[in-house]
Amino acid sequence: MTTGDAVMGTDVLRAQGLTGAGIRIGVISDGVDGIGSSQTSGDLDRVWVLSDEHGGGEGTAMLEIIHDVAPQAELYFHDNGGNASDFNRAIDNLVAAGCTVIVDDITWLNQPFFEKGEIADHLENLLTTHRLVYVTSAGNYGDAHYQGSVKINSRGYQDFSGTGSAHPYLYAYVPSGGALSVYMQWDEPFGSAKGDFDILIFDSRTGLPLARSVRQYEYQSDPCEKLVWINGGVSRDVAIAVCPNGGTGGARTLELFTHLTAGKMWPDNIVAFDGIWGHQAVPDVITVAAVNASTPDTIESYSSRGPVTYLFPNRTVIQKPDISAPDCVEVTGSGRFVSSFSGTSAAAPHIAALCALIWSAHPDRSPAEIRSALYSSAVDLGTPGRDNVYGWGRANGPTMNALLAGSAIPGPAAVATRSPFEKFYPKGAPTSGSIGGLIVRQDASIPVPDSPYPLPTAYPRKPPTKPYTRWYPGDRWAS
Ligand SMILES: [Ca+2]
Ligand SMILES: [Ca+2]
């Protein structure tokens, strides 16, 4: 049993007879490896698997959480596919199967950061035309995100500090064999970008250049750049730098996300704020932040922070995330998955299961009423009222159920300006050279951005516990 159950009070609701019966819940994640052993041990019942082509055990773990909380809900699974079109099809297939609650834990790094993308557009349409409660993880980028004004220093590099600091870049510890991925976009419209920026990684102690991104053919008209570097040498402290390559295209804002398979980002110049985008930004999608099940009044450092700022076609600010739920909960670990299960990927299925459990007792309520009751009943955390860290607060099952049992639901009406946006942003392809088969160019002629960066001695030297986040080919991360 997930310890998140007691945190949400869903144990109380089951004791009152709520089961989730009659609700079909669809899960979209990597795969359902190990599902047989979960069923044998009684941690899962029947699951309708519509597609399971690329494997992974994260879907199994999400299903286990849902089955704990809403044991009689009918469970469906569909893998996330390799691109945005596949992902949209996965949603459609689950809707066609009769799922009225769907949850995913996938963030697509190739969707635009400054305007609405293909998946968000599709989900907005679905939510206005179907009886659907859609839940997603906010992402694990709270301590791995930067957004700020373009400010090029005298050496020709972005000053991430914005203040001329002696530590102007982003910094990471990357152990031998670890991979560091950087996804960056700047504020030009997709399809008509004129500027170009490159990403560089260098040893922050010696200044040794390690990798530099090269603009990819598919990206020529899109304002984005990506670099994946695998550390094939000794463990290193590295700096991430950005420089214009040619012109900036008049860009005024840079935004980037980093991901490490091992090691950690140092906190210098990290900006947690405004680190949500993609289908997580759709107003009527329930976007879930993570609080630790054992300390449920405190946000996880890695839980992605809102709001969402779109700049095209017009500046639009969307409040996100919406709700907080527990992570760091025990699952069986079937399919060689890790337990405890951490990250917003673990929080999101708690919310999907909570909504199904309560909806099964109030089947005449609309999706909008379910959302309103979820938000209105939340235990406010952080700054008073809705905020960009916890959303409305931590989900509270008994209060939510009581609201829906009453006649009127006092609810927040989440309204945001909708912007038409149809651009599909294709996946990138490897360019010149590789390290570990991934996209980089080793280039000893790269100018060293600055003098070696002395690390503050107060920094811990060993990698900390990481949330369970993985980078996949195809520009998506599970979160
Ligand atoms: Ca942003
Ligand atoms: Ca609050």
DSSP string, 75-121: EEEEE--SSHHHHHHHHHHHHHTT-SEEEE-EEETTS-SSS--HHHH
Ligand nearest to the CA of 186: 1
For 83-142, the pLDDT digits (tens) are 999 999 999 999 999 999 999 999 998 899 999 999 999 999 999 999 999 999 999 999
Domains of the chain: 4-140+274-405 (3.40.50.200), 145-271+430-473 (2.60.120.380)
CA of 13 to the centre of ligand 1 (A): 38
**Does the pLDDT of residue 297 top 60, yes or no?**
yes
Ligand nearest to the CA of 255: 1
CA of 113 to the centre of ligand 1 (A): 6
CA of 108 to the centre of ligand 1 (A): 14
Determine the pLDDT at residue 470. Answer: 42
Matching residue, tokens 């419209």: 189
CA of 323 to the centre of ligand 2 (A): 10
Determine the pLDDT at residue 217. Answer: 58
Q: CA-to-CA distance for 396 and 313, rounded, in angstroms?
A: 37
For the question of whether the overall pTM of this predicted structure is more than 0.75, the answer is yes
**Does the pLDDT of residue 413 top 80, yes or no?**
no
Determine the pLDDT at residue 162. Answer: 93
Name the helix (H) or strand (E) containing 324: strand 323-327
CA of 149 to the centre of ligand 1 (A): 12
Determine the pLDDT at residue 382. Answer: 96
Of the listed ranges 4-13, 70-79, 155-164, 404-413, the least confidently predicted one is 404-413
What SS3 state is found at 6? helix
Of the listed ranges 157-161, 326-330, 398-402, 439-443, the least confidently predicted one is 439-443
- Whether a cis peptide bond, with omega within 30° of 0, leads into 313 is yes
User: In 306-380, where does DSSP find H-type helix?
Assistant: 344-359, 367-376
Mean pLDDT value across the chain: 85
First-last CA distance in the chain:
21
**Does the pLDDT of residue 418 top 50, yes or no?**
no
Matching residue, tokens 């993609």: 278
Q: What residues flank ion ligand 1 with Cβ within 5 A?
A: 147, 274
Determine the pLDDT at residue 447. Answer: 45
CA of 395 to the centre of ligand 2 (A): 12
For 332-342, the pLDDT digits (tens) are 999 988 888 99
Which is higher by pLDDT, 165 or 471? 165
Of the listed ranges 20-24, 192-196, 396-400, the least confidently predicted one is 192-196
Of the listed ranges 132-146, 147-161, 190-204, 455-469, the least confidently predicted one is 455-469
CB-based contact 194:247 (threshold 8 Å): yes
Of the listed ranges 300-304, 346-350, 475-479, the least confidently predicted one is 475-479
Q: CA-to-CA distance for 82 and 100, rounded, in angstroms?
A: 24
For 45-54, the pLDDT digits (tens) are 999 999 999 8
- Amino acid letter, residue 256: L
CB-based contact 61:35 (threshold 8 Å): no
Ligand nearest to the CA of 322: 2
Closest CA relative to residue 287, chosen from 149, 416, 402: 416
**Does the pLDDT of residue 173 top 50, yes or no?**
yes
